[in-house]
C-alpha cells in the first residue's frame, strides 16, 4: 500500500482498533491461478498474532488456500472532501479514508478444530447488541452440526500490518478545522466518523 509518511498509522494499537471496529474485511488470494476476493468477518485473536474466520464450503477460494500468503483489507470510514469547504476553491476534491492491510499465511482448520466453533461464538458475542438475548448455546445441536459441515474455518498468521489514515494532514490547521465542521454538519455517519478521526 502506498503510504506517504504523514498518512501512516504508526501505532499497532490504532491498527488493531480499525480491525476491531471494521471487521468485515476483504480477503484477497490466488485461486486456480487467478486473483480472488471474498468479503467476510475476521476476528483478531487476543494475542494479536492471528486473524480467524470461516468460508462457506461452497466458496472455491478456500480449496487451494492452505499455506498461501494472503492480503486482508479492513476498510474504515471514507468520504468525499469538497473544495467548497476550503477557504479557497482554487483547488481540487479529494477523498479521506482509514484502512488497514494485513498480510499473512493461511492455515485451514479441520472440521473438529475447536477454534472454528469458538470463533463463531466470539463473532456472535461481538456483534449481538448488549440487550439481545440470542446465544448460539440455545440452537439445537443437530442444526449446529449441519451448519458446521457447511463452513471451512481458517486462521491467518500475521506477518505484516500497515495502516493508513488519509485525513487532510497535508493541509493547514485552518483548512482541516473547516473540513471537520463541514463533515459534522452533513449529518451522515461516514462523514461524521471521518471528522472524529480527524479530531484525534
Q: What is the pLDDT of residue 143?
A: 80
* Average predicted confidence (pLDDT) for the chain: 94
Report if residue 115 sits inside a domain.
yes
With respect to residue 180, please indicate whether it lies within any of the assigned structural domains.
no
- pLDDT range class, residue 18, cuts 50, 70, 90: very high
Is residue 94 in some structural domain?
A: yes
**Burial of residue 182 (number of CB atoms within 10 Å: 0-12, 13-18, 19+):** middle
Query: Which pLDDT does position 133 carry in this prediction?
Result: 85
Classify residue 164 by burial, with Cβ atoms within 10 Å: 0-12, 13-18, 19+. buried
16 — phi, psi (to 5°)? -65, -30
Confidence grade of residue 7 (pLDDT, cut at 50, 70, 90): very high
Enumerate the H helices of 71-168 as residue ranges: 114-127, 141-148
Task: Provide the CATH number for the domain around residue 140.
Answer: 2.30.110.10
Cell of 161: 500490518
Residue 195: inside a domain, yes or no?
no
Q: How does residue 135 score in pLDDT terms, banded at 50, 70 and 90? A: confident
pLDDT attached to residue 146? 76
Domain of residue 125, residue span: 5-171
Task: Report the distance separating Cα 121 and Cα 128, nearest Å.
Answer: 11
Mean pLDDT of 80-94: 93
Residue 130 above 90 pLDDT?
Answer: no
CA distance 78 to 95: 7
Query: How many domains does the chain fold into?
Result: 1
Is pLDDT at 138 greater than 90 in this prediction?
no
For residue range 140-179, what is the model confidence (pLDDT) as tens digits? 877 877 777 889 999 999 999 999 999 999 999 999 999 9
Q: What is the pLDDT of residue 136?
A: 82
Whether the model clears a pTM of 0.85, i.e. scores above it, the answer is yes
Q: For residues 192 and 184, is the Cβ–Cβ distance under 8 A?
A: yes
pLDDT at residue 147 in the model: 78
Residue 44 lies in a domain: yes
The answer to whether position 186 is within a domain reads no
Q: Which of 123, 124, 151 is nearest to 57 (CA)?
A: 151
For the ranges 33-42, 92-101, 140-149, 181-190, the lowest mean pLDDT is seen at 140-149
The reply to whether 90 falls in a domain is: yes
**In the structure, what pLDDT confidence band is assigned to residue 55 with cuts at 50, 70 and 90?**
very high
In a domain, 87, yes or no: yes
Amino acid at each position: 500500500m502506498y503510504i506517504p509518511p504523514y498518512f501512516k498509522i504508526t501505532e499497532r494499537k490504532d491498527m488493531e482498533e480499525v480491525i476491531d471496529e471494521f471487521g468485515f474485511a476483504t480477503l484477497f488470494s490466488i485461486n486456480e491461478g487467478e486473483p480472488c476476493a471474498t468479503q467476510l468477518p475476521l476476528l483478531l485473536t487476543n494475542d494479536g498474532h492471528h486473524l480467524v474466520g470461516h468460508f462457506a464450503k461452497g466458496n472455491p477460494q478456500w480449496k487451494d488456500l492452505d499455506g498461501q500468503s494472503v492480503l486482508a483489507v479492513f476498510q474504515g470510514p471514507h468520504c468525499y472532501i469538497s473544495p467548497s469547504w476550503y477557504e479557497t476553491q482554487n483547488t481540487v476534491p479529494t477523498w479521506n479514508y482509514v484502512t488497514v492491510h494485513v498480510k499473512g499465511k493461511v492455515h485451514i482448520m479441520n472440521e473438529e478444530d475447536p477454534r472454528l466453533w469458538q470463533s463463531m461464538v466470539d463473532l456472535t458475542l461481538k456483534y449481538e447488541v448488549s440487550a439481545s438475548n440470542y446465544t448460539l448455546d440455545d440452537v439445537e445441536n443437530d442444526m449446529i452440526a449441519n451448519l458446521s459441515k457447511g463452513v471451512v474455518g481458517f486462521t491467518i498468521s500475521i506477518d505484516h500490518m500497515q495502516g493508513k489514515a488519509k485525513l487532510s494532514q497535508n493541509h493547514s490547521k485552518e483548512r482541516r478545522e473547516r473540513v471537520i465542521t463541514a463533515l459534522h454538519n452533513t449529518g451522515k455517519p461516514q462523514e461524521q466518523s471521518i471528522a472524529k478521526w480527524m479530531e484525534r
